[in-house]
Structure formats: structure tokens, C-alpha cells
Amino acid sequence: MASNVPPLAPGVLKLQLNQTYGGATNLVNRLFFSFSGNLDEASALSIATLASNNWSADLGAHLTSHLSLDSVEVLDMGSPTGNQVTVTAGHLGTLPSTDYSPALAVVNNVGSVARRYRGGKPRFSQSGFPASAMADNQHWNGTALSSWSSNFNGYVVAIVGHGTNGGQVISCVNLSLVQGYTWKEIPLSNGGIKYEKVPTYRTTPVTDQIQSWVAKSQIGSQRRRGVN
């Protein structure tokens, strides 16, 4: 039975990358991974440190120094008291800051899963690409995109299989906690009504292994900072 309380997701961890892009703060990217064993504090710290250290070579090399990775968080999604760690990163993109593109212009990486379902696919939307990587005002150029796509998949693969004292990261997954939405009427002080979209959560979360990530050539738009 569905509920209005988010379900726990045993055996799943959240990896969150907190970034700043010039004056645009609270840029957040999230990846989810399945894991075996126990995600103790030392294990979570090991994964967060790996994700932080690999960011510069795999991802930061394609981004301008206008963008910084500020911190990396790892959270055990399986318990309300699950281990959560934060590693301060302080890494900058390595390309010239003067070549920056707008904060809302992103590369959309779309994950493919075996299950067919209605709704949006897994996404990882990254700001910080250089303006010189644009082929035109709607597309990224193929050379830059191909290199980014290869390195992004390499970044994910480096985390998958990472062994820790508590267990091992198994695969990158799509985590579905929401079954659907309903509209709730909210009375206003002026006598009017506004409508709020309220999620209906699953009793048991659904996870699907992400088989691969593909970077889309069309320039995306990041409209919801902090919630992507």
C-alpha cells in the first residue's frame, strides 16, 4: 500500500556532489548505487573520498574553473540512522574560467535501464561546460561530448566495484521512491486557492540497474537547482 512517507531503501547509497558555478550556488548532482554488506562510517568515507578525488581527472577536466566541486556526501538510504559522511572537496574545473557558458546550459547524461516504465529516465545534468564546446546555440560539439561521455562512464565505473571494510559497491542504480502524485488544495489568506503537487510514496522502493550513460548533444536547461 502506498503512503505519504518515503520508504527506506536497504542496500542503496546516495552519492551527492555539491557544486558552485560562479554566482550560482546550490548546484547538486546525485547518483545512487547498490551495495553489499554494511556501509559503516569508514566505508562511506572511503567512497566519498574516491568520488571526490576522481572528479578532477574524470569530470573537472571538461569543465571551466568557474565551477567548483565543494563537497561530496554519501548517505546510507536503508535506515533513518544510516551512516552519512561529507568530504570537503574544493576542486575546480581545469579549463579557463573566461570560456564559461551560462549556468542553466547543461549537458544531460541519460541512464538506460532494462525495465520499460512511464516517467522520466535517470539523469545527471552538469553545468560548467565551456562556451567553446557549443557547436551552435542548441547543441554541444561532438568531440567534446564524446570525451565527456567516456570520462563520465569511467567515473561511475571507478565507484562500482569499490571494496570497503563494510562491503562493496555493486552497481549504479535508478531509485524510484514515488508511485504517483495527487493535487492538494491549499486555501490562501485572500480567499483564493492554490494547488500543491503531493507525492504518493511506494511502500517498497524500486531499483533498476543503470546499464550505461549517454550524453545528449542538445544543450539542456537546468531549471531546478538543488533538486536534480
What is the reported pLDDT for 60? 97
6 is a domain residue: no
193 is a domain residue: no
* Residue spans of beta strands (DSSP E) within the chain: 12-21, 24-37, 67-76, 84-92, 105-112, 123-126, 167-187, 193-209, 212-215, 220-221
Number of domains in the chain: 1
Phi/psi of residue 9, each to 5°?
Answer: -130, 80
191 is a domain residue: no
What is the reported pLDDT for 82? 87
39 is a domain residue: yes
For the chain, the distance separating the N- and C-terminal CA atoms, rounded to the nearest angstrom, is 27
What is the reported pLDDT for 118? 66
What is the reported pLDDT for 99? 95
* Segment 100-124, tens digit of pLDDT: 998 889 999 999 888 877 667 899 9
pTM over 0.85: yes
Residues (pLDDT < 50) of the chain are: 225-228
183 is a domain residue: no
What is the reported pLDDT for 228? 41
Alpha helices in the chain (DSSP H): 41-58, 142-159
- In the sheet that holds 84-92, the strands lie side by side as 84-92, 67-76, 12-21, 24-37, 167-187, 193-209
Q: Which of 213, 166, 191 is nearest to 58 (CA)?
A: 213
What is the reported pLDDT for 148? 97
What is the reported pLDDT for 227? 42
Domain span at 103: 12-177+206-221
196 is a domain residue: no
51 is a domain residue: yes
